[in-house]
Amino acid sequence: MMVKLGLVLAALLSGASASPHHARSTHVLHRRDAPPSGFVNSGAAPDDHVINLKLALVQSDVSGLEQKVYALSTPGNAEYGQHLSKEEVEELVVPSSESVSAVNDWLASHNLTSQVSSPAGDVRSVNLTVKQANALLDASYSTFTNQKTGSTTIRTLSYSIPADLRPHINVAYPTTQFPPTSVSSQSLLASSSRINDNIARALLDSCATSFTPACALELYSIPTNVPFQSDSRLGIAGFSDQSAGAADLKAFLEKYRPDVPDSTTFTSELVAGGVNNQSNPGVEGNLDTQWSVGLIGQTVPVVFVAVGDDDGDDFFSQLPAIINAFLNDTNPPQVLSMSYSLPDSFIDQATASSICNGFAQLAARGISVLAASGDYGVDGGEDPTQCHEFQVEFPASCPYVTAVGGTISQGPEVAWNSSGSGFSSYFPVPSYQAADVAAFLKTLPANYSTGHFNASNRAFPDLSARADFVEIVEGESQTGTGTSSSTPIVASIFALLNAELIAAGKSPLGFLNPFIYANKDAFTDIVAGANPGCNSEGFNATQGWDAISGVGTPIYTKLRTAAGL
């Protein structure tokens, strides 16, 4: 009601007043009734607190970008493998000069200036005080306290732009997006909270209770004799102050890959003020680098990309930071492994779309992005007896990302009962999986989706790999459980395939999903296991694609043939 009244008043004023300063009606870009559960409003934010506000402008040709992505990534298409250059992608997403001047004029009327903050200029950033931001966005920035961690974050429950700018601006952040701060986030780290398998671990040193690189090489038929290929590179994302230890990697290689020189290591790239602190390696950083270098040995250079908080202290600011770093590179790694996720309920549709669009741009560049499907089953870490609506992890649920679920060993692999999975809240089902998802939906009890999930949307994971009793060296040897380990395993397999393709003069695989769904027989179908939660059975692993194990686990030798090698 308040908003409607405000709009009417603004319209009246614009008719009555000669002053251009009152002439604009506003459009609410996003509003939420309350912060997400777990946050309390601790009062108005200090007027002089400085916010680095990002404005995502409307891009020139989003549907052109999406069409290109599918043409380039779909086996059999005439354009398959013809990935775009940095400049070609930028041409599709650059905002119109009209949009740029409309936005800059608006900012100037508030005595503000903006700076380009993405390679194509479709994101602009403005430093402004809370007082200025409240005036600019008709917002009410407040300090919200995360009750679990005690950390505070400054956000607003609603924000608006002048209605005539609606055709030019998609989203502004930080506004109504409520991620827990990365440093204190438990759910962001897929593996660390579940690193206690040691206790349950049997003395028996077999692949069932001690999953080593040797086990993975055997299980997925991964070759160890692919020649060094400097042009195939694997990027490992490091968020949340996770550093990767070179000394721990050396110890890991000595123990588990004695055939690989223990001097084999990774390089670091620092993005947005990131650090790779050798005095303070983290479980996730170690796991990801040990399981990539541990599988690909010296064949493919591994780049650890440490993302800092110059662009914002939360995951949903740091994702665009790493995307932009890759987009701004004329020759980035062709595979990016990301063992991190948060529920998509922390962000609104416009924010999710804006970040997912960044992944579409990476797809157009020929980059395969692998993302962990999450470690909390369908309840996403909520009380499994209380929740009804299944939680959805992001970025795994973005259709331009390849989501990796987890399996455990019980003789043959079965789906892990905590594997994150389900249906996006925001993105419609993409064509590459539509038939498989429809077939899976038929296996569900009648009306099973009602209130649990949106059955017309993008479903994940796309594939899976081993997630339990995974060895890692963190000072000493231990094992971990989580899709955090499944993700670098799968990423390493595709980086090796790229090395072989590049050596054969062919294009790297790029965005993988159309290839994966077109070659389901190159995977071991996982047909047992389920992830019960939210007072439900969750999802069953079934014959064919299912919403817990995807198409199954990779078989390198068959993928090789599918890739035309």
Per DSSP, the residues of 285-319 read: HHHHHHHHHHHHTTSS-EEEEEE-STT-SSHHHHH
Q: CB of residue 91 vs ligand NAG: minimum separation in angstroms?
A: 16
Work out how close the CB of 443 gets to ligand NAG at its nearest, in angstroms, rounded to a whole number: 6
Least Å distance between CB 224 and ligand NAG?
31
Tokens 């670098």, residue located: 488
Please tell me whether 526 is known to bind a ligand: yes
Cβ–Cβ < 8 Å for 381, 432:
no
Quick one: how far is CA 215 from the chain centroid? 27
Q: Which residues, 6 or more positions from 42, have their beta carbon under 8 angstroms from its beta carbon?
A: 142, 143, 144, 145, 152
Whether 336 contacts 196, CB under 8 Å: no
Of 485, 565, 486, 484, nearest to 519 by C-alpha is: 565
DSSP 227: P
Looking at the Cβ atoms of 287 and 352, the one nearer to ligand NAG is 352
546 is in an annotated binding site: yes
Using alpha carbons, select from 269, 561, 240, 516 the residue that is nearest to residue 368: 516
Quote the CA–CA distance of 341 and 286 in Å, as a whole number: 17
CA distance 397 to 462: 10
Those residues whose C-beta lies under 8 Å from the C-beta of residue 436, and which sit 6 or more positions away, are 517, 520, 544, 545, 551
Nearer to ligand NAG, 297 or 381 (CB): 381
- Closer to ligand NAG by Cβ: residue 38 or 273: 273
Residue labelled with tokens 């050798």: 278
Pairwise CA distance, residues 408 & 92, whole Å: 42
Q: How far is the CB of 428 from ligand NAG (least distance, A)?
A: 4
Q: Which residues of 408-439 are buried (b: 16+ CB within 10 A; e: fewer)?
A: bbeeebbbbebbbbbbbbbbebbebbeebbee
Nearer to ligand NAG, 103 or 563 (CB): 103
68: left (phi over 0), alpha (psi -120 to 50) or beta: alpha
Q: With DSSP H G I counted as helix, E B as strand and the rest as coil, what are the percentages for the chain, rounded to 5?
A: 30, 25, 45
For the CB of residue 563, give the shortest distance to ligand NAG in the complex, in Å: 31
Closest approach, Cβ 504 to ligand NAG, in A, equals: 31
Mapped onto helix, strand or coil, the DSSP state of residue 165 is helix
CA pair distance 141, 30, nearest whole angstrom: 14
Q: Minimum CB separation from ligand NAG for residue 505, in Å?
A: 29
Q: Indicate the residue among 444 and 502 with the shorter CB distance to ligand NAG.
A: 444
| Residue 323 labelled as part of a binding site | no
Distance CA 318, CA 26 (A): 29
Smallest gap, in angstroms, from Cβ of residue 217 to ligand NAG?
25
Residue linked to tokens 């005095």: 279
CA distance 143 to 362: 35
Binding site for ligand NAG (CB under 6 A): 52, 110-111, 114-115, 117-119, 125-127, 275, 277, 279-280, 324, 328, 417, 428, 443-448, 454, 456-457, 532, 537, 540
Q: Is 544 annotated as a binding residue?
A: yes
Report the catalytic residues: 284, 288, 484
Which residues line the annotated binding site for Ca(2+)? Answer: 525-526, 544, 546
Which residues line the annotated binding site? Answer: 525-526, 544, 546
